[in-house]
Amino acid sequence: MEEAIAKGRVPVGELKRVIGRRVLMLFVIGDILGAGIYALVGQVAGKVGGAIWVPFLAAFVLASLTATAYAELVGKYPKAAGAALYTNRAFGIPFLTFMVAFAVMMSGITSASAAARAFGGRYLAEFVTLPVLVGALGFLAVVTLVNLAGISESVKVNVVLTLIEAFGLLVIMAIGAWALLQGDGNPGRALEFHSEDGAFLGILGGTALAFYALLGFEDSVNLAEEAKDPQRDFPRALFGGLVVTVVIYLAVAFTATMLVDTRTLEESTGPLLEVVNVAGLSFPPKLFALIALLAVGNTALINMIMASRLVYGMAREGIVPAAFGLVHARRGTPWPAILFTVAIAVVLVSTGDIGGLADTTVLLLLLVFALVNVCVIVLRRERVEHSHFRAPTWMPALGAVVCLILASPLTGRDLDVYVRAAILLAVGVLLWLLNHLFSRRRAGA
Q: What is the CATH number of the domain that holds 408?
A: 1.20.1740.10
Segment among 261-270, 406-415, 432-441 with least mean pLDDT: 432-441
Rounded Cα distance between 233 and 221, Å, is: 12
pLDDT of residue 14: 46
Alpha helices, H only, 194-229 = 199-214
Structure confidence at residue 170 as a pLDDT band (50, 70, 90)? very high
pLDDT of residue 299: 79
**DSSP string computed for 87-128:** HHHHH--HHHHHHHHHHHHHHHHHHHHHHHHHHTTHHHHTT-
Rounded Cα distance between 347 and 117, Å, is: 12
Rounded Cα distance between 207 and 187, Å, is: 21
Residue 62 lies in a domain: yes
CA distances from 145 to 34, 151, 301, 305, 418 (A): 20, 11, 10, 11, 31
Q: Which residue type, as a one-letter code, is found at position 323?
A: A
Q: Calculate mean pLDDT across residues 69-98.
A: 84
Residue 102 lies in a domain: yes
Contacts of the segment 416-419: beta carbons below 8 A, 24+ positions apart: 416/352, 416/356, 417/356, 417/359, 417/360, 417/363, 418/363
Are residues 357 and 209 in contact, defined by beta-carbon separation less than 8 angstroms?
no
Are residues 412 and 197 in contact, defined by beta-carbon separation less than 8 angstroms?
yes
Q: Calculate mean pLDDT across residues 68-88.
A: 81
pLDDT of residue 445: 58
The burial of 355, by beta-carbon neighbours within 10 Å (0-12 exposed, 13-18 middle, 19 or more buried), is given as: buried
Rounded Cα distance between 339 and 335, Å, is: 6
Residue 8 lies in a domain: no
The DSSP call for residue 393 is: T
Return the closest-CA partner of residue 160 out of 30, 67, 63, 46: 30
State which residues form the domain around 73.
Answer: 17-380+389-440
Structure confidence at residue 9 as a pLDDT band (50, 70, 90)? very low
Residue 223 lies in a domain: yes
Q: What percent of the chain has pLDDT over 70?
A: 88
Residue 3 lies in a domain: no
Residue 369 lies in a domain: yes
Residue 157 lies in a domain: yes
Backbone angles phi, psi at 281, to 5 degrees: -85, 110
Q: Give the number of domains in the chain.
A: 1
Note the pLDDT tens digit of each residue in 178-213: 988 888 888 888 888 887 767 778 888 888 888 888
pLDDT of residue 224: 58
Q: What percent of the chain has pLDDT over 90?
A: 27
Residue 271 lies in a domain: yes
Predicted confidence (pLDDT) at residue 18 exceeds the cutoff of 70: no
Note the pLDDT tens digit of each residue in 121-168: 888 988 988 898 999 999 899 888 877 876 555 556 666 777 888 899
